[in-house]
């Protein structure tokens, strides 16, 4: 007697190749069309730009050449770029770990008044990129900033020997990046802690282990895969950050050097070589993390638990928790406070060698909505972000539907390619777009001038900014919708189709309404990150009429006089737009603000 699997295998052997494919996969004409369009989208806007970057960095003067990579190894000016970027990435990762580990432990293992509020408040730093906060932090911690002037006023410091708290910008970049990125580390650690079986901790406690030993010997090892997932994201983000070093004038890092070489992209291959180096180093970081965690075993016998191990915090523990979270929250909100104060300061003379501004004004906010450079940037950012969210939504729904509802070839490959932008720095994608979609590239060389004028970022970056924002933030949309599809029973769709509804009508009338909360969460994430996207905005937007908010802020900071003050007001406006969106999404979702970040 043959078992069912053997009968199936024998029946497949008697079929033609085409019939086998049809039996094995759900390749109806609509599915083939969706799969083909999705594949084409990734080939044109992700694979092609990356391949172009590699080609331009290795293929020089019509032959394979490693000259620019050798120059990076022999030129001390190039080596210092790598070392400084690496130091920033390592320091930010260490500091976010120091802040996030106890933070996640306190908020998941203890019950105390105000816990839900604190869970939302600690995520606020994510709404503003660190380079905006750098505008105000320089005013606080500069040589003649508020901190030094306060110490002078107390007689603890002499005016002639004030301190550069950021040591030329390095520690400023590290601090701002840490305060911006610790929520990402926190969310990953919280997710890892939720997967730790509480019965293991209870067993260790019953054997007499202290709470510290339980954490060190049981909890910490079991949460390592989740921790390293967050650590790698933080490292890559800090390693490739462009905006914060620019504002602090800390230019000896890889991202800033790539930014400086944008105008020479078609003449100097060094920019492409540096992008390749960034891609290789980030890929290597992911590989080492996977190898390191893959050589250790983290299996737990008990799974399927639905509650975490929580205890009521005693008054002494509550004091520790409030002091720690309160101090961290104050530090995290300090850049926001400083930017608001700068935006309300009339001019440089009102806050020079003084602890606080001597007077306040709303003139900079009025100018933000009337100035020829600032108002268009707000409208541009809204336009770019809305359309990029729509594109990410369409692609995300299509991929999530294929992955969860259909059997398709190369399913895991499609998932991996869709998630690839999460591991790619923004400077790499943006620089690839700048070179591969210019009118000198092979793809555009034979296209009509009317199409080139729309696609070429040197002429009009609107199209590529929208696509770039969508590609960079697609993983957030995909994972959010994917989770919704997984949590929705397919029986509803089967019942609809049994009643005669087409698959498209079923998707529109049944499935999408059931996962609306997930769609909204993903859309808010894409929109929020797109509104204040830094790397692609700074690199792709070369003409002032196309500037988004972040490029307009950077441009204003380069002006003397009131430029930084107007830039701060523009940053606050962007921050308020995002807060309104996040709060509105939280109300629609019926949950707390922090929940929409848990993909």
Which has more pLDDT, 59 or 200? 59
Predicted confidence band of residue 309 (pLDDT cuts 50, 70, 90): low
Predicted confidence band of residue 10 (pLDDT cuts 50, 70, 90): low
Is residue 591 predicted with pLDDT exceeding 50? no
Q: Picking from 124-133, 136-145, 223-232, 239-248, which range would have the lowest pLDDT averaged per residue? A: 124-133
Neighbouring C-beta atoms of residue 216, cutoff 10 Å: 12
pLDDT the model gives residue 37: 92
548 sits in the region (left: phi over 0; alpha: psi -120 to 50; else beta) called beta
Q: Which whole number is the average pLDDT over 347-360?
A: 84
- Distance from C-alpha of 492 to C-alpha of 515, rounded to nearest angstrom: 13
pLDDT the model gives residue 467: 94
Contact present, 356 and 341 (Cβ < 8 Å) = yes
Is residue 129 predicted with pLDDT exceeding 80? no
Predicted confidence band of residue 595 (pLDDT cuts 50, 70, 90): very low
Contact present, 577 and 457 (Cβ < 8 Å) = no
Q: Which whole number is the average pLDDT over 339-355?
A: 86
* CB proximity list for 105: less than 8 A, separation 6 or greater: 193, 215, 219
- Distance from C-alpha of 263 to C-alpha of 272, rounded to nearest angstrom: 12
For 384, phi then psi, to 5°, come to -60, -45
Which has more pLDDT, 53 or 22? 53
Predicted confidence band of residue 306 (pLDDT cuts 50, 70, 90): very low
pLDDT the model gives residue 303: 46
pLDDT the model gives residue 299: 52
Predicted confidence band of residue 594 (pLDDT cuts 50, 70, 90): very low
Predicted confidence band of residue 314 (pLDDT cuts 50, 70, 90): confident
Q: Give the distance from CA 178 to its chain's centroid.
A: 14
Closest listed residue to residue 121, CA positions, set 261, 330, 323, 296: 330
**DSSP, res 96:** H
For 488, phi then psi, to 5°, come to -105, 125
Which has more pLDDT, 292 or 334? 334
Q: Residues 105, 109, 111, 112: what is their CA dihedral angle, to the nearest 10 degrees?
A: -20
pLDDT the model gives residue 323: 92
Question: pLDDT tens-digit profile of 16-44?
Answer: 655 666 666 667 788 888 889 999 999 99
Which has more pLDDT, 3 or 367? 367
Q: Which whole number is the average pLDDT over 522-538?
A: 86
Question: pLDDT tens-digit profile of 513-529?
Answer: 888 877 887 888 788 88
Give the 3-state secondary structure of 355-392. CCCCCCCCHHHHHHCCCCCHHHHHHHHHHHHHHHHHHH
Is residue 414 predicted with pLDDT exceeding 80? yes
Is residue 597 predicted with pLDDT exceeding 50? no
Provide the whole-model pTM. 0.82
- Distance from C-alpha of 253 to C-alpha of 390, rounded to nearest angstrom: 34
pLDDT the model gives residue 5: 52
Q: What pairs with residue 110 in β-bridges?
A: 311
pLDDT the model gives residue 443: 63
Which has more pLDDT, 486 or 595? 486
Superfamily name with CATH number, domain 35-56+78-347+364-597: MetI-like (1.10.3720.10)
* CB proximity list for 375: less than 8 A, separation 6 or greater: 368, 369
Question: pLDDT tens-digit profile of 261-289?
Answer: 887 766 778 888 899 988 888 888 777 77
Question: pLDDT tens-digit profile of 375-401?
Answer: 899 999 999 999 999 999 999 999 988
Contact present, 339 and 568 (Cβ < 8 Å) = yes
Which has more pLDDT, 448 or 97? 97
Burial of 167 (0-12, 13-18, 19+ CB in 10 A): exposed
Which has more pLDDT, 128 or 401? 401
Is residue 461 predicted with pLDDT exceeding 70? yes
Q: What percent of the chain has pLDDT over 70?
A: 87
Is residue 228 predicted with pLDDT exceeding 90? no
Which has more pLDDT, 217 or 278? 278
- Give me the numbers of helices (H) and strands (E) for the chain, helices first please: 32, 4
Residue with tokens 């921790």: 227
Which has more pLDDT, 281 or 309? 281
- Distance from C-alpha of 326 to C-alpha of 324, rounded to nearest angstrom: 5
Which has more pLDDT, 254 or 585? 254
Averaged pLDDT of the chain: 81
The listed range with the strongest mean pLDDT (51-55, 259-263, 443-447) is 51-55
pLDDT the model gives residue 21: 63
The listed range with the strongest mean pLDDT (15-24, 165-174, 270-279, 308-317) is 270-279
Is residue 223 predicted with pLDDT exceeding 80? no
Q: Strand 63-64 vs strand 311-312: parallel, antiparallel, or unpaired? A: unpaired
């Amino acid at each position: 007697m043959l078992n069912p699997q053997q009968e199936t295998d024998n029946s497949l052997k008697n079929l033609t190749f085409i019939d086998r494919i049809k039996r094995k996969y759900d390749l109806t004409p609509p599915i083939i069309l969706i799969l083909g369009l999705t594949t084409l989208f990734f080939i044109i806007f992700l694979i092609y730009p990356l391949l172009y970057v590699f080609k331009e960095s290795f293929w020089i003067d019509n032959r394979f050449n490693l000259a620019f990579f050798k120059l990076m190894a022999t030129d001390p000016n190039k080596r210092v770029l790598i070392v400084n970027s690496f130091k920033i990435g390592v320091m930010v990762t260490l500091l976010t770990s120091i802040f996030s580990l106890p933070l996640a432990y306190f908020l998941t293992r203890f019950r105390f008044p105000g816990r839900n509020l604190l869970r939302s408040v600690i995520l606020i730093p994510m709404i503003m990129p660190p380079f905006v906060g750098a505008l105000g932090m320089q005013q606080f911690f500069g040589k003649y900033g508020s901190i030094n002037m306060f110490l002078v006023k107390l007689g603890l410091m002499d005016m002639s020997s004030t301190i550069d708290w950021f040591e030329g910008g390095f520690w400023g970049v590290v601090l701002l990046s840490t305060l911006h990125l610790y929520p990402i580390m926190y969310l990953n650690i919280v997710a890892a802690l939720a997967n730790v079986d509480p019965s293991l901790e209870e067993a260790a406690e019953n054997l007499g282990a202290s709470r510290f030993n339980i954490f060190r010997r049981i909890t910490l090892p079991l949460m390592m895969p989740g921790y390293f997932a967050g650590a790698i994201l933080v490292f890559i983000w800090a390693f490739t950050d462009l905006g914060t070093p620019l504002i602090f004038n800390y230019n000896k890092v890889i991202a800033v050097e790539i930014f400086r070489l944008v105008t020479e992209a078609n003449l100097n291959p060094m920019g492409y070589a540096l992008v390749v180096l960034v891609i290789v180093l980030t890929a290597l970081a992911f590989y080492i993390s996977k190898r390191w965690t893959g050589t250790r075993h983290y299996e737990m016998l008990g799974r399927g638990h639905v509650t975490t191990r929580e205890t009521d915090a005693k008054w002494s523990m509550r004091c520790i928790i409030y002091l720690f979270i309160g101090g961290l929250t104050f530090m995290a909100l300090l850049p926001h406070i400083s930017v608001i104060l700068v935006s309300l300061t009339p001019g440089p003379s009102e806050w020079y060698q003084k602890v606080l501004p001597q007077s306040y004004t709303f003139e900079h906010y009025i100018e933000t909505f009337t100035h020829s450079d600032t108002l268009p940037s707000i409208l541009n950012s809204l336009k770019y972000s809305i359309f990029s969210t729509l594109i990410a939504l369409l692609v995300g729904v299509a991929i999530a539907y294929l992955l969860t509802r259909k059997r398709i070839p190369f399913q895991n490959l499609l998932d991996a390619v869709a998630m690839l932008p999460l591991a790619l720095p923004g400077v790499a994608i943006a620089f690839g777009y700048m070179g591969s979609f210019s009118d000198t590239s092979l793809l555009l060389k034979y296209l009509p001038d009317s199409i080139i004028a729309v696609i070429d970022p040197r002429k009009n970056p609107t199209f590529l900014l929208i696509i770039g924002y969508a590609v960079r933030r697609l993983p957030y949309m995909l994972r959010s919708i994917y989770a919704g599809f997984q949590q929705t029973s397919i029986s509803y769709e089967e019942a609809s189709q049994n009643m005669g509804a087409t698959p498209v009508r079923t998707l529109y009338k049944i499935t999408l309404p059931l996962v609306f909360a997930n769609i909204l969460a993903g859309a808010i994430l894409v929109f929020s990150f797109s509104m204040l996207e830094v790397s692609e905005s700074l690199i792709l937007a070369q003409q002032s009429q196309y500037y988004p908010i972040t490029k307009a802020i950077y441009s204003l900071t380069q002006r003397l006089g009131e430029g930084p003050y107007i830039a701060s007001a523009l940053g606050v406006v962007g921050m308020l737009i995002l807060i309104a969106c996040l709060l509105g999404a939280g109300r629609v979702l019926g949950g707390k603000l922090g929940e929409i970040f848990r993909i």
